[in-house]
Structure 1
């Protein structure tokens, strides 16, 4: 496995991207962001470039968008070497005090997230600007987005990632994610930064596209479900191509879970319309 990273500064935000490449030349990546003296997320501890960057940047504090190890993996490293406060949604403060017990494929890619101390985020915090902490669950129960009232910059964590969902991680909620996306569109943001896509051009339009896609996909799933088709048959018809992550995750990421979640959450989904 090969790792590397790169940096660029956009609108006074230092965007650090860490890459992990596998033997088949496929790669995954994750961003951390430095703005107004603090860092948003700390990245995976399998990417030394991210650790080196944290030491170089010397942020005054860390804000974590959610508990997943590709965002919190260097929390213990920060605690040991930088001695600065780290903040996460109150729902995950206790979880951070225990080493994560994730499936082997996730440990192989992102590493094990060691225990560290995190403090609870409040609804707002102050750096050079006033920031709103927006609870936006769906991808994770503790997920937050961060909105700078002064610059109208929105740091959306893993809320957006891509305009279409073809696979879901076990534990994600389709209806809750859709609700969070709709909520974000009520915020008067300008620039949007995503933890896996970086700066997202024309973000408002792309999130509208994602919302429309999710609504349409849910309709298609439920139409087939009412015709008596089971989850596997629906997958075969609507999502015929197996994703790489499904192949390597031993089913933790899957098309079947995506379809099953839509069916299970249909009352909530269609109540939201």
Structure 2
């Protein structure tokens, strides 16, 4: 496995993108961000270069968007070597005291998240600016975004990732993710930093496009389901191309889960926010 990091400055934010390349698997990457003495997410432990960056940055605290190992994988190292506070959604504080029990493929791709001590996030906090902690569940129940009131920057974790959903991770909620995306559009942000897609140019338009796509795709799924079409046929009709993650993850990522979740959550999806 080959790993490396690249770094750039965007609007005063240090953006560190960590990569790794696995045999027979496409290149994958994840971002960490540094601003106002704060590091937002610490990357996966399989990318050790993140640790070198963290040592150089000497942050005052770590903010975690959610518990997944590609975002918290280096938190145990941070606790041991940097000894700075790390904050996560209150619902995950206890879980962080135990080593993660993730499927083997995720351990191979991102590494294992070892146990560490985290503190609960408040609704707001103050660094050089006042920040809001915005609950944005869907991808994970503990997912949050961080909004800097002074700069207008929104650090969105895995809320956006890509303009279209073609596959979903078991445990994700389609309706909750959709409503989280709709909710952040009410914020007067000036720029969005995504932890897989990087800085989003024309973020508001991109997120609007994702919302529209999710609504229209859900309508297609529900219409076919109401005609009596089973999940397997709906997948064949709307999502005919097998995604590499379905095989790699032994089905934890799945087109079928995506379709079934839409059917199960149909009332919530079309509820007025």
Q: TM-score, normalised by structure 1?
A: 0.99
Which residue pairs with 1:9 in the alignment?
9
Question: Where does residue 215 of structure 1 map in the other structure?
Answer: 215
Matches within 5 A, 1:1-273: 1-24=1-24, 26-272=26-272
Kindly provide the CA deviation profile for residues 102-158 of structure 1, in whole angstroms up to 9, marking residues without a partner as x. 000000000110000000000001000000000000000000000000000000100
The Cα shift of 1:73 comes to 0.4
Q: Give the Cα separation in 2 of the matches to 1:45 and 1:25.
A: 18
In 2, Cα distance between equivalents of 1:183 and 1:271:
13
Q: Residue 177 of structure 1: SS of its match in structure 2?
A: helix
How many correspondences in the alignment?
A: 273
Q: Deviations over 1:154-197 (max 9, x none)?
A: 00100001110000000000000000000000000011100001
d(CA) in 2 for partners of 1:174, 1:83 = 37
Q: How far apart are the structure 2 equivalents of 1:144 and 1:25?
A: 29
Measure the CA separation in 2 of the matches of 1:2 and 1:230: 42
1:201: how far off?
Answer: 0.3
Aligned partners of 1:49, 1:184: CA distance in 2, in Å? 32
Distance 1:271 1:23 in 2: 44
- Using the TM superposition, give the Cα deviation of residue 99 of structure 1 relative to its aligned residue in structure 2, in angstroms: 0.3
Distance in 1 of aligned mates of 2:103 and 2:231: 24
1:24: how far off?
3.0
Query: 5+ residue gaps in structure 2?
Result: none
Q: 1: distance between equivalents of 2:30 and 2:261?
A: 26
For residues 242 and 25 of structure 1, do their structure 2 counterparts lie closer, same or farther at Cα, with a shift above 3 Å needed?
A: closer
Residues 139 and 177, structure 1, Cα contact 8 Å, conserved in 2? yes
Deviations 1:250-273 (A, max 9, x none): 000000000000000011112237
Asked if the contact 1:153–1:192 (Cα under 8 Å) also holds between the matched residues in 2, the reply is: yes
Q: What's the TM-score once normalised by structure 2's chain length?
A: 0.99
Q: Distance in 1 between matches of 2:26 and 2:139?
A: 23
Partner-residue secondary structure (3-state), 2:270: helix
* C-alpha distance in 2 between matches for 1:3 and 1:71: 16
Deviation (angstroms), 1:25: 6.2
Moved over 2 A (4+): none
CA distance in 1, matches of 2:90, 2:239: 36
| CA-based RMSD | 0.8
Residues in 2 aligned to 1:20 and 1:252: alpha-carbon distance in whole angstroms: 21
Q: Distance in 2 between matches of 1:268 and 1:6?
A: 40
Q: Deviations over 1:69-100 (max 9, x none)?
A: 00000010000000000000001000100000
